[in-house]
RNA sequence: CCGCUCUUAGCUCAGCCUGGUAGAGCAGUCGACUGUAGAUCGACUUGUCCCCCGUUCAAAUCGGGGAGAGCGGACCA
C-alpha cells in the first residue's frame, strides 16, 4: 500500500535544510532559519502542546515537522504545557498530568525519536521564582490589547479571563527558559511568536526564529481550519472504518485550488501528512478504471487529480489507507493504555 | 455590597406583555444526481423551555424563592 521511509532515506529528505523548511507556511525570518539549517546539529527546537488525551491531525502536523527536524540532526523539546492547560480551565493538575502522559505515549508511537526528544512539563520550571518574576516583567511590557490579540481562541461563549492573557506571555517566556534555538507551531501561533520576538529582548533575552506549519482545512467543507472536536477531526482514536468514512465524506473537488477561500483538504492531507512519511503511495484502482497507480511525490498525485487521471474517490481510498497506517501505532498505544 | 440583563433544539435566537404541554435560521441525518465530496433538488430528526414551590382546569408564559452567567455602579456632562 505505502512504503515507510521513516527509518532510512526519504525521497526528498536527504538534505537537512530541505527537511527543515519543507511544508512550512512561514519561516520567521527565513534568513535566521537558513542560518540554523546550515548547522542544525544539536540545535534545540520545540513545540508546546496543551495536554490532550487523543492526538488529532493538528498535533500530528507539527509532530511531522519535529520528526523532520530530528532527521536533520536537531534536538526536539516537547512542552507538555500543563500550566497552560490549567490556565485554560482544563481541570486539575492531576487530571492534566494524566492526559499529558497519554499524549506523550502517542507522540512516541507516532514516530518521534525517543532518544532525541525531551518531554518537559511546564510546571517543572514555570513555577520557579525567576520565571514568575520574568513573567511579571513581561506583563509590564505588554499592553492588554496586545496580549488579547495573541491569546488562544476562546471556547464558544466563554468570557476572557486574566488567565487567558497570561497564557501567551508564558508561551513567550518558555522560548527563553527552555533554552531553544527555534520555536515551532501552527500558523495560528504566529501572533504569540511575534509577541515573543518583540518582547523577549526587552527583558534582555534573545529573540528566536520560528517555523509555522500550515493548518489543514476543515475536512467536510474545505473552509478555514479543521475543527479539533471529536467526530470531526481525524485522530488516533479513529478506527479504520471511521477513518474511511470521514475521508470519504471529505470535500474534494478535482483541483488543488477550489473556488473562493476554499482548500482541498484531501490534497492537504496527502501533502502534509502522507508524503512526508511515505516514499511511495499506491492508489488501488479497479481494472475498470485503469488499475493501480503509484506516486512518488505529492506533486505528481496532485497533478493527476487535476488532470482527471486520478479520480477523487480513488485518491480518498489511498488517503484513508495511508492515514490508517500512520495512526495505527498510536491507536494501539491508546488501547494499551485503556 | 447594590442595581440591571440574560438562561428555550448541537449553535444563534423568536415566543413570554394578552397562560392552552414550542418555533425559525444554521447545523445534522437520509434519499436522488454525479464513479468522491460539494453544489442542487426531495424528505426527516432534535428539546428535563436553568431548578424548586405556588396560582390555575391548564404555566416556557403569571407570582415567590434559588442557581449560573454577563454588564454596570468615581468624576465630568
Give the C-alpha separation, A87 to A277, whole Å: 34
As a CATH number, domain A240-337 is: 1.10.240.10
pLDDT tens-digit series, residues A150-179: 988 777 667 888 999 999 999 999 999 999
Exposed/middle/buried for residue A282 (C-beta within 10 Å: 0-12, 13-18, 19+): middle
In this structure, the protein residues whose CB atom falls closer than 7 angstroms to any atom of nucleic acid strand B are A 156-157, 159, 220-221, 248-254, 266, 285-286, 289, 311-314, 316
Give the CA radius of gyration of chain A. Answer: 20
Q: Domain residue spans in chain A?
A: 7-213, 240-337
Annotated binding-site residue numbers of A: 46, 167, 171, 174, 189, 228
Do residues A326 and A277 lie in contact, with contact meaning Cβ atoms separated by under 8 Å?
A: yes
User: Which pLDDT value is given to residue A225?
Assistant: 66
Question: Which nucleotides of chain B does any protein CB come within 7 A of?
Answer: 11-12, 28, 35-38, 69-71
| Residue A76, beta-bridge partner list | A45, A117
Which triple of cell numbers denotes residue A34? 537558513
CATH class of A7-213: alpha beta
Ordered DSSP codes for A150-171: HSPPPPTTPPP-HHHHHHHHHH
User: Which pLDDT value is given to residue A191?
Assistant: 94
Do residues A271 and A301 lie in contact, with contact meaning Cβ atoms separated by under 8 Å?
A: no
3-state helix, strand, coil in chain A (%, to 5): 50, 15, 35
> Helices (H), strands (E): how many in chain A?
13, 9
Q: What is each CA distance from A103 to A51, A123, A187, A238, A252, in whole angstroms?
A: 6, 16, 21, 15, 31
Q: Calculate the dihedral angle through the C-alpha atoms of A10, A13, A19, A25, rounding to the nearest 10 degrees.
A: -90
User: Which pLDDT value is given to residue A152?
Assistant: 82
Give the C-alpha separation, A66 to A246, whole Å: 26
Nucleotide nearest to A161 (CA to C1'): B70
Instruction: Give the residue with greater pLDDT, A223 vs A213.
Output: A213
Do residues A202 and A227 lie in contact, with contact meaning Cβ atoms separated by under 8 Å?
A: no
Q: From the CA of A281, how many Å to the C1' of B46?
A: 42
Q: From the CA of A265, how many Å to the C1' of B45?
A: 29
Give the residue carrying C-alpha cell 546550515.
Answer: A38
pLDDT tens-digit series, residues A46-93: 999 999 889 999 999 999 999 999 999 999 999 999 999 999 888 889
Lowest model confidence (mean pLDDT) among A52-56, A129-133, A157-161, A236-240: A157-161
Q: What is each CA distance from A74 to A108, A113, A249, A338, in whole angstroms?
A: 17, 11, 38, 33
Do residues A285 and A7 lie in contact, with contact meaning Cβ atoms separated by under 8 Å?
A: no
Amino acid at each position: 500500500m505505502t512504503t515507510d521511509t521513516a527509518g532510512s532515506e526519504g525521497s526528498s529528505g536527504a538534505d537537512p535544510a530541505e527537511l527543515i523548511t519543507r511544508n512550512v507556511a512561514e519561516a520567521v525570518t527565513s534568513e535566521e532559519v537558513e542560518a540554523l539549517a546550515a548547522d542544525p546539529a544539536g540545535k534545540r527546537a520545540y513545540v508546546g502542546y496543551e495536554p490532550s488525551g487523543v492526538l488529532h491531525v493538528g498535533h500530528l502536523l507539527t509532530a511531522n515537522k519535529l520528526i523532520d527536524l530530528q532527521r536533520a540532526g536537531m534536538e526536539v523539546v516537547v512542552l507538555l504545557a500543563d500550566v497552560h492547560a490549567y490556565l485554560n480551565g482544563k481541570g486539575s493538575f492531576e487530571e492534566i498530568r494524566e492526559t499529558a502522559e497519554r499524549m506523550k505515549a502517542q507522540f512516541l508511537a507516532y514516530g518521534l525519536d525517543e532518544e532525541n526528544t525531551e518531554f518537559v512539563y511546564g510546571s517543572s520550571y514555570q513555577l520557579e521564582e525567576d520565571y514568575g518574576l520574568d513573567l511579571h516583567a513581561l506583563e509590564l511590557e505588554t499592553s492588554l490589547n496586545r496580549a488579547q490579540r495573541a491569546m488562544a481562541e476562546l471556547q464558544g461563549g466563554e468570557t476572557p479571563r486574566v488567565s487567558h492573557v497570561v497564557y501567551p506571555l508564558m508561551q513567550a517566556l518558555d522560548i527563553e527558559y527552555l533554552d531553544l534555538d527555534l520555536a515551532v507551531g501552527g500558523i495560528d501561533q504566529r501572533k504569540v511568536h511575534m509577541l515573543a520576538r518583540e518582547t523577549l529582548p526587552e527583558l534582555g533575552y534573545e529573540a528566536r526564529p520560528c517555523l509555522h506549519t500550515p493548518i489543514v482545512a476543515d475536512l467536510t467543507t474545505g473552509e478555514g481550519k479543521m475543527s479539533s472536536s471529536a467526530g470531526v477531526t481525524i485522530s488516533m482514536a479513529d478506527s479504520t472504518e471511521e477513518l474511511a468514512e470521514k475521508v470519504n465524506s471529505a470535500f474534494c473537488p478535482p483541483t488543488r485550488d477550489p473556488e473562493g477561500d476554499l482548500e482541498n483538504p484531501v490534497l492537504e492531507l496527502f501533502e502534509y501528512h502522507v508524503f512526508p512519511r511515505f516514499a511511495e503511495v499506491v492508489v488501488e484502482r479497479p481494472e475498470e478504471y485503469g488499475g493501480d497507480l503509484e506516486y512518488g511525490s505529492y506533486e505528481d498525485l496532485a497533478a493527476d487529480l487535476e488532470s482527471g487521471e486520478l479520480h477523487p474517490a480513488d485518491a480518498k481510498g489511498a488517503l484513508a489507507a495511508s492515514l490508517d497506517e500512520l495512526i495505527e501505532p498510536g491507536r494501539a498505544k491508546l488501547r494499551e493504555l485503556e
